[in-house]
Amino acid sequence: MKTKIIIIDDEKPIADILQFRFQREGFSVQCAYTGQEALKLVEDMRPDIVLLDVMLPDCDGMEVCYEIRKKYKMPIIMLTASSSEKDRKRSFELGVDDYVAKPFYTKELVALVKARLSSL
């Protein structure tokens, strides 16, 4: 069975590039573009890992992280344009497993995801 990943990002071009890249690596990938869509998709799909943007149109990605953490233990990697110490600290307090600032290299992100999954 393929490893399931959810990419949550309101920037469709970024989500599309990541989806293509992870599918080429053999992952089963679904994308969500809003927080509410993401929470429903997590509930339905039960992914192995989540890539989560902070800035979403309907709510804060940290709020989405908090809601996911109430029920699930899958790794969450925060993807964000904000690299402030305050945001990083808050993300880790909410339960993210890693924090990647945009822009990032997709090959590096794929390697990070694989490393995170292999440590489970």
What pTM did the predictor assign?
0.94
Instruction: Using alpha carbons, list the distances in angstroms from residue 35 to 23, 25, 63, 82, 119.
Output: 22, 26, 8, 18, 27
Per-residue pLDDT tens over the stretch 13-43:
999 999 999 999 999 999 999 999 999 999 9
Per-residue pLDDT tens over the stretch 61-104:
999 999 999 999 999 999 988 777 888 888 889 889 999 988 99
Query: 4-118: what CATH class?
Result: alpha beta
Domain spans of the chain, in order of start: 4-118
